[in-house]
Amino acid sequence: MVAEQIPAPEQETSWLQLELAEAHKTVRTLLRQLDKERKRYTECQRAYEMTVTNLMEIARENTLLERERDDWRRRAEGVGAPLHIGGLALDLRPEEVGAIRKAMARLHHPDTGGDPERMKQWNAALDPLEG
């Protein structure tokens, strides 16, 4: 009876090979599952990035549309168009526009050694505000 309980080396080797084959099968199954999850994660990440990009674009467009709406509202109310400097819309009274024009003329008028092109740009920006 004792001889039957101790596995022969061939039986033990055979049993270990079966265990190894079963372990390989489990590893392959887990690797396939892992690959599927990686693909799913990559697709979710791509969808998230596209959503964020779209939301940012929509927010930018919304800001531009709000600014344009406000400009049209001011024009309809007869207030005049705001001056846009560095992305900011400034509502200026005529005396403020005049003060800006004088200050820019001191800096950029050709008679004071300034750049004529820059003075033209300032005049073009300030003319609609005095209207």
Whether residues 75 and 86 share a domain: the answer is no
What's residue 3's pLDDT?
47
pTM, full prediction: 0.41
What's residue 126's pLDDT?
81
Return d(Cα 106, Cα 102) in angstroms, integer. Answer: 6
What's residue 2's pLDDT?
46
Start-to-end CA distance of the chain, whole Å, equals 115
Return d(Cα 94, Cα 17) in angstroms, integer. Answer: 94
Tokens (6 digits) for 45: 């990440």
Return d(Cα 102, Cα 130) in angstroms, integer. Answer: 13
In a domain, 65, yes or no: yes
Whether residues 88 and 54 share a domain: the answer is no
In a domain, 3, yes or no: no
The rounded average pLDDT for each run of 10 residues, N- to C-terminus, in the chain (131 residues) is 58 88 96 96 96 94 90 72 59 80 88 87 80 58
CA angle at 128 for the pair 126 and 131, rounded to the nearest 5°: 115
Whether residues 24 and 73 share a domain: the answer is yes
- Number of domain units in the chain: 2
* Residue span of the structural domain in which 63 resides: 8-79
In a domain, 52, yes or no: yes
